A and B are shown apart, each in its own frame.
Chain A
Amino acid sequence: MACITATGTVTASGRAILSAAATPSTAQQVADTTGLPVFRVRSALRELTQAGLVTESAGRFQAADRVHVADRVHVAGKEPAP
Chain B
Amino acid sequence: MSVIERDVPDEQVVRGVGLPRLGEPAPDFEAVTTHGVLRLADYEGGWLVLFSHPADFTPVCTTEFIGFAEIYPQLRERGTELLGLSIDSVYSHIAWVRNIQEKTGVAIPFPVIADLDRKVATAYGMVMPGESATETARCVFVIDPRAVVRAMIYYPPTTGRNLQEIVRLIDALQAADTHHVATPAGWRPGERVIVPAPATTEQAAERVAESDAGEYECIDWYLCTKKV
Contact = CB atoms under 8 A, between A and B. Distances in A.
Interface of A: 1-3, 37-40, 42-44, 46-47
A39 B43 contact: yes
Given A39-B46, A42-B41, 19 more contacts: A1-B36, A1-B37, A2-B35, A3-B36, A37-B76, A38-B45, A38-B46, A39-B38, A39-B42, A39-B43, A39-B81, A40-B42, A42-B39, A43-B35, A43-B37, A43-B38, A43-B42, A44-B36, A47-B37
Residue from the set B35, B37, B38, B81 with the largest chain A CB neighbour count within 10 Å: B35
Contact of A2 (B36, B43, B76): B36
Interface in B63-112: 76, 81
24 contacts: A1-B37, A2-B35, A2-B36, A2-B37, A37-B76, A37-B81, A38-B42, A38-B46, A39-B42, A39-B43, A39-B81, A40-B35, A40-B42, A42-B39, A42-B41, A42-B42, A43-B36, A43-B37, A43-B39, A43-B42, A44-B36, A46-B37, A47-B36, A47-B37
A47 B43 CA distance: 16
